[in-house]
Each structure stands twice: as C-alpha cells, then as structure tokens.
Structure 1
Amino acid sequence: MISVRPLDRSLEATYRALVDGKAKPLGSLGRIEDLAVRLALIEGRPNPRCERVLLLVFAGDHGLNEAGVSAFPSSVTTAMVATLLAGRASANAFARSVGAEVKVVDAGVAADLAPHPLLIEAKVRKGSRNAELGPALTSGEVELALARGAAIARQAIEEQGFEVLAVGEMGIGNSASAALLLHRLAPAPLDDCIGAGAGHDAEGMARKVAVLARAAARSAAVEPMDVLAQFGGLEIVMMAGAILGAGAAGRPVIVDGFIASTAALAAIRLEPAVADYCVFAHRSCEKGHALALAAAGAAPLLDLSMRLGEGTGALLAAPLMRAAAALLTDVASLDDVLAGRL
C-alpha cells in the first residue's frame, strides 16, 4: 500500500504565530489563515509554494451503464475527453482563468484514444464490469489503478515540478459507482447517496435507484480494497491513487466534487494520514456530497451549487490556495509596519 507520512505538527504553533503576527486584526482572514498554516505544515517551512497547479482529469467508463444508470451513453465519455484535449471544456476555460494546466488520464475509457500531448495513457481495461451482476474490478485491477494513479501524481510533482495537484473526473455513470462506494465507505444509507448525476427524469432516477439497490445487495463488502473491487470505477480508483501519491510526495491536492470526494474518502480509508494533504474545494449540490465530506472530516472552501465535475470546482479553489500561501510569504508583519520596516 502507498504510505503517507503524517504531518509533523511540532511547528504548528510557530506557523500560527507567524500568521497571527501579520499586519491585520487577529483572525480577520478566517479560514484562509487556517489554510496558510496547513500549507506550511505540509511543506514543512513558513513559505509554502502554490504557484504551479496541475489538474488531472481521470476518465473511465462503467459497466453499470449497461443497466441504464445514466441518462447518457458511454460514448459521451470519449466525446468529452476529446473536448478536454481540444481545450474547449469548462475545465479548460476555468484552468486558463486561474493559470493552471490540465492533463487527461485515460484510466479506463471504453475506446481506443489517439495519442495526444495532454493525454496520459494509463488504461487498466476498457471500462469496469457491471457491478449489478458481479465485481466491477478484480483485486489486481484495483491495485494496478491505485499504483498508476500514485505514479502519475509523483511524476507530476517530483519530475515536472508542479506544486499543487487538483483532481477531477470524466466518466458517464460514475455517480452511480460513487454512490455505492460512499454507501459502504461512509457508511451511509444507500438512498441518501444516490443523486441525479448528469441528469435524470423521474423514471430514470427510479431505474438508477433500483439497479444500485440490486448491486449493493449482491455484496456485503466493507473493507476499502474489497469495496473498490466490488463497486469502483477505474477513474475513481486511479484518482484515489493519485491523492495518495500526492500525499506521499508531500504536496497538497485539491479535491473536486462528489466523485472526487468519494475517491478521497477511499484514499483516507486506505491511508488515514492522507487526509491532512487534501483540500476539499467545494460543496456540490449533488445528493450525497455532504455525506462524503462529513465522512472525510472535510470543510470545503466554496459552496457554489455546482455539480459538473471535470475538476471545475477544484480549479476555482486554486486561487485561494495561492492567496493562503501569499499570506505567509508576502504580507508584512505588524511589528514591521509599526517600526516602518517596509
């Protein structure tokens, strides 16, 4: 399993004193002050770096789509991957607006994708199996997806010099997989975990609820690796691996919405220390996300009634990360202001 070093909190009081001593009323920047302290703890120094941000969009398809859990066919996953690679998706627009970079990871798209400079080929298989009928993944596939996700994260940080990773996803049907994962990992009642995903009418929602109830009844799995095998999607599992990889490399990772938060919860269940490296970007309006956040012990930075995915919410949180770091690195101390040392 991927090992993550727990934060050394021996300097927490020192970093808090630095923040408290800035030229501002005590506590006047609220949770940004808390974030600044956490970033310093993650990096182990009082001048954390959060300039270079990479969004990794993990893409995969789901065998559950055979049972009609989504309002859209799996072919939309491939089409949206092409849109992301062309720079025309919402995530691309948001990334340009905040000065972040975007790469797409083929974790398990059910199609052969042409090589592209922004595409990371990491496919484990062409989509997961239908979790209504049997395990979605084998234990070996789960281990491979976790390992590949961790390797991608570590390469981005250690070889390419990114200082912050953000994670998002693209996969038609992945809200169904995430609902099943949350049901077991939180744990929480299944009905409370199932939302509309990309959109459903009443008939579609009834079908989705029925399919997921049958899938949940098929397996009593509760251990994280077994839960991922029974109900996981490859983009979710690989995203969990990337979160673990970022933590292992000692860098913060911004977690997007419902799907990404479920991946983060899986990572936390596998390695609790990684929770300290996760910055949860926003509270999605997708049903179940509040449960996922609570289970992860997370307080998101934003609440904008978003539910798109793709890492869009994570990108909007990136400027807050930079601002928190700048509080420590760029703001004068009150002592310097009073002494005229500017």
Structure 2
Amino acid sequence: MRLLEHTIQRITAPNADAYGAARERLRNQARPAGSLGILEEVGARLAGIFGTIDVRLDRKIVITCAGDHGICAEGVSRFPQKVTPQMVYNFVGGGASVSVLARHAGAEVRVADLGVDWDFAPDLPIYHKKVRKGTANFAAVPAMTREEAVRSIEAGIEIVDELTAEGPVHLIGTGDMGIGNTSPSTAIIAAYSNIPVPELTGRGTGIDDDGLRKKIAAIEKGLALHRPDPKDPVGVLEKVGGLEIGGLAGLVIGAAAHGIPVVCDGLIATAGALIACELAPSARPYLFAGHNSVEVGHRYMLEHLGLQPLLHLEFRLGEGTGAALAMTLMDAATRILAEIKTFAEVGINDAQ
C-alpha cells in the first residue's frame, strides 16, 4: 500500500464528546451566548481535536511549500521565476513577511522545496523534497505525470511525519511560494466549481489588464485541453496543478492522520487543502481557514470547503502570512473556552 492510501486510512474523527462538552461550556459562560462569534466554534473544534477543554497550542509551525511553474511561459506573472529561489533563501534567513508574522504568533517557519527550478545546497536547512524542477506549461501539456502528482502529495505527508518525530506539534499553518502559482490554483477551483474562468481569475502579484487577459486565456486553454475530472483529485493536480500545491495537500492529509489541526493561508494553500479534502474527506474537520484573500477564486474555494475565514485583511501575499496571523486568534479561542468562567462558577444560576 502506498503512503498516501495508508495515511488516509489512519485519519480518525475528532472527539465528539469533547466537542459537545466545549459547546455546552461556551453556552454557559458568564456572557451572552454566542457573543464571541466564530471564535467559539474554533475553540470547540480544537477541543474536539485534542479531546480536552484546556487546549494548549504550544508548538506552532508554518510550512511554506515552494515550486516553479511552466505556465509562466504564457506571460501570466509580472515577476520572473528566479524570484522563487531568492525568496526561499529569504525565508531561511528569517527576513520574509511570513517570518515576521510567524514570530509574532510564536510560530516557527519551515520551508519545503517541492519543485523549485534551482539547485539548493544539500545542507540548506529546508525540506529537500524536490519532485522535479518545476511543472510543465499546462496550457500545452499536462503539468506533471500522475506519479509526480502522487509523489508531491506524499512529500507533504513525509514532512509531517518528520516534524512529529521531533516532538509534539499542536498547529500547522500552510503557505506557498512559487511565481505563477495563482494560475494553477485558479484552474483547480475552475475544475471544481464550473464557474467561468474570467470570474475566478485575479491579478496575482499585480499584473496589468493585458497580463490578466493572457492569464485567463492560458487557464482556459489548459482546461479545455486536459478536461480535468473533479472526481479524480490526483488527475486534477496532474493536469493543471503545482508541485507545491501537491505538497500542501499532503500536509493537510498528514496532519489529519496525526490529529493535528491545520490553518491554511490564501488561494494556493487552499487549493492544496481542496485537493486534500477531495482525496480524504475525513481530513476536513482538522482544517481551518486563516483568511479570505483578495484573489476572487479564494472565496469560491472556501465556499466549496465550507470554511469560514478568521480574517478579512485584503491580503494577497501567500507565504503563510494569513495563516500565521490567524494562529493568534486560534490561541485566543483556546483561552476563551478554558478560562472564561461559567455562570455557575461565579455563583449566578439560570442566567441563560
């Protein structure tokens, strides 16, 4: 049995009794019921995942998966592909946006090379999981082979296995780096939503009107050529996806198998989460949405997954920045559940 199938079989449902007890405690706290909004449900879900009211998210890690994209040949991005390896070095050096926001959240940043078109030194402190040096141009040929698609997902699973071998992990944030990766992500949600590509396509790193027309045309061409079947998530990834998107999917599946909640970032990270949940619906209860980005396709992804984002900050960066910021709210949700006293604990009876 392959690692992917074995890992999916290992996923178990969160503890329904702990979730119910958490909802009951929240209902009876000394404040108007429901007054802390969606953080109440976040706290209850975390209680179900960990099987306790007093959840402590002590070890938080943002994993930024990187890969390059052949679709860039169609003029879909305003930045050259050489930026991808340069940003990997910036992540390692701690100078990137996600590095700063993760430090604020008390989280560590780890970087994974799934398909960067660059030879990193073996001793560079990243996860060396390169499947190939970038995908092919999916406007002309499939982005990768089916075996490569599976390998990219399994690489994400391996990363979680290696992380947990170091010690307990309480929360994983997923992020991305890859010039051109909003195009395959948009193609993925197009395959699952049947919404016209122009209604799903954003400007990514800030392309002009001409660049946007090229991007829409390239995505439409690839979808028409390959006709990815939404019932075959690996096939969707194979036809139009990115290697880092496969890695992001593997992180979600691997984390769920270890009972670890995952908070995903924006369009690209959520594309990976979508593939993961299509492959393994049992992973969905472990998934949280960090924010709703300005990339129009992201909203449709969140709707498809039934996820309510924690933040609306007009982010369009990726890297894991939105996931890192959302971690602070998830920490707050655990304290809301565990530390706000109930009416009974403060001596007020039948207040609700």
> Which interval holds the TM-score relative to the shorter structure?
over 0.9
Distance 2:162 2:44 in 1: 26
Q: Which residue does the alignment assign to 2:245? A: 236
Post-superposition CA distance 1:293-327 (Å, at most 9, x none): 11111110110111100000001100111111112
3-state SS, counterpart of residue 298 of structure 1: coil
Distance 2:102 2:125 in 1: 14
3-state SS, counterpart of residue 7 of structure 1: coil
3-state SS, counterpart of residue 96 of structure 1: helix
Q: 22, 34, 49: which is aligned to 1:15?
A: 22
Q: Which residue does the alignment assign to 1:35? A: 42
Q: Partner letter of residue 93 of structure 2?
A: A
Q: CA deviation at 1:193?
A: 2.0
After TM superposition, list the pairs within 5 Å mapping 1:172-251 onto structure 2.
172-222=179-229, 223-251=232-260
Q: Note if contact 2:78-2:206 (Cα within 8 Å) is conserved in structure 1.
A: yes
Residue 293 of structure 2 is aligned to residue 284 of structure 1: yes
Q: Partner letter of residue 242 of structure 2?
A: G
Q: 23, 32, 43: which is aligned to 1:25?
A: 32
Residue 344 of structure 2 is aligned to residue 335 of structure 1: yes
| RMSD between aligned residues | 1.5
Q: CA deviation at 1:201?
A: 1.0
Q: CA deviation at 1:211?
A: 1.4
After TM superposition, list the pairs within 5 Å mapping 1:142-181 onto structure 2.
142-181=149-188
What stretches of structure 2 of length at least 5 have no aligned partner? none
3-state SS, counterpart of residue 40 of structure 2: helix
Post-superposition CA distance 1:135-175 (Å, at most 9, x none): 11111111111111012123323533221000000000000
3-state SS, counterpart of residue 334 of structure 1: coil
Distance 2:67 2:226 in 1: 23
Distance 1:69 1:153 in 2: 32
Residue 324 of structure 2 is aligned to residue 315 of structure 1: yes
Q: Note if contact 2:173-2:265 (Cα within 8 Å) is conserved in structure 1.
A: yes
Distance 2:122 2:333 in 1: 37
3-state SS, counterpart of residue 345 of structure 2: helix
3-state SS, counterpart of residue 176 of structure 2: strand
Q: CA deviation at 1:333?
A: 2.9
What stretches of structure 1 of length at least 5 have no aligned partner? none
Q: Note if contact 1:56-1:103 (Cα within 8 Å) is conserved in structure 2.
A: yes
Q: Note if contact 1:58-1:107 (Cα within 8 Å) is conserved in structure 2.
A: yes
Distance 1:186 1:244 in 2: 22
After TM superposition, list the pairs within 5 Å mapping 1:296-311 onto structure 2.
296-311=305-320
Q: CA deviation at 1:65?
A: 1.1
Q: CA deviation at 1:116?
A: 5.1
Q: CA deviation at 1:250?
A: 0.7
TM-score, structure 2 as length reference: 0.92
TM-score, structure 1 as length reference: 0.95
- Deviating beyond 6 angstroms after TM superposition, the runs of 4 or more aligned structure 1 residues are none
Post-superposition CA distance 1:193-235 (Å, at most 9, x none): 2111111111111111111111111111212111110011100
Q: CA deviation at 1:11?
A: 4.1
**Bigger Cα displacement from structure 2, 107-116 vs 96-105:** 107-116
**Bigger Cα displacement from structure 2, 4-13 vs 181-190:** 4-13
Q: Note if contact 2:17-2:48 (Cα within 8 Å) is conserved in structure 1.
A: no
Q: CA deviation at 1:96?
A: 1.4
Q: Partner letter of residue 197 of structure 1?
A: G
Residue 75 of structure 2 is aligned to residue 86 of structure 1: no
Distance 1:85 1:281 in 2: 23
Q: Which residue does the alignment assign to 1:269? A: 278
Distance 2:89 2:186 in 1: 26
